[in-house]
Amino acid sequence: MSTLTDLYREIGACQRCSLYKTATRPVPGEGPDNSQIMFIGEAPGFHEDQQGRPFVGAAGQFLESLLASIKLKRDQVYIANVVKHRPPNNRDPLPGEIIACRPWVQKQIELVKPKMIVTLGRYSMEMFFAGKTISKIHGTGQKRDGVMYFAMYHPAAALHQQSLRQAIETDMLKIPALLAEMEAKETKNESQPTQMKMFGF
Ligand code: URA
């Protein structure tokens, strides 16, 4: 599997858990294959399931307005979900479904190679910040292996709760500086001799 298109085809045929049986379409994710930022949500809802695209309902509209607050359009970032098929009646994804779907998220990360991964909500956070609590770590970045991981509340939750809404809006505004930090690091590494890079200078 070498491109996102190949990956989407494979996800479309996925039967690793039973969600494909009740879903209308797979929702693999979308965005440029060289996106610097990847947003990872929870699971497709009704509208996503109908259209085969992530974050196209109310939460998606809110995500777009959050992106606009940092001068980004949705087609400039990569958007994915932990689970690629809609759970029936929008129930939470089950542990087995998340485990079954995890290789697809990993492949997306391998192919896109984002500098920053933004988790939206608890299920996505758990994948990258195991054992952490969202109310404690939201809005904080953690650098690992050249990638900045950043946890945010889920836009759907924040849409209806004023305190979370303020938090998600504030957290979003931190993204440009964290991304710039990763870019600056990369530029510095590129201009250094290999030996210095090996020693992490
Ligand atoms: N909520 C999610 O987590 N993902 C979507 O794609 C839509 C709503």
Distance (Å, whole) CA 74 – CA 101: 23
Say how many C-beta atoms besides its own lie within 10 A of residue 76's C-beta.
13
Tell me the CA–centroid distance for residue 88 and ligand 1, in Å.
Answer: 14
- Say how many Å lie between the CA of residue 188 and the centre of ligand 1: 36
- For residue 79, give the ligand 1 atom closest to its CA: 6
Cβ–Cβ < 8 Å for 138, 163: no
Check if 55 has its Cβ closer than 6 Å to any atom of ligand 1: yes
- By most ligand atoms within 8 Å of CB, the mutation choice from 19, 25, 42, 90 for ligand 1 is 42
**93-117 tens-digit pLDDT:** 999 999 999 999 999 999 999 999 9
**Strands (DSSP E) along 111-188, which ranges?**
116-120, 141-144, 147-152
Question: Which secondary structure element, helix H or strand E, spans residue 37, and what is its range?
Answer: strand 37-41
Question: Does 168 contact ligand 1 (Cβ within 6 A)?
Answer: no
Atom 3 of ligand 1: nearest residue by CA position: 42
pLDDT digits (tens, 9 = 90+) for 135-158: 999 999 999 999 999 999 999 999
- Tell me what percent of the residues of the chain surpass a pLDDT of 70: 93
153: CA distance to ligand 1 center in Å? 12
Q: Which is nearest to 76 in space by CA: 116, 123, 27?
A: 116
Q: What is the pTM of this model?
A: 0.93
Let me know: does 16 contact 100? Beta carbons within 8 Å: yes
Looking from the CA of residue 123, the nearest atom of ligand 1 is 3
- For residue 1, pLDDT over 70 is answered with no
- Ligand 1 atom closest to residue 48's alpha carbon, by position in its atom list: 6
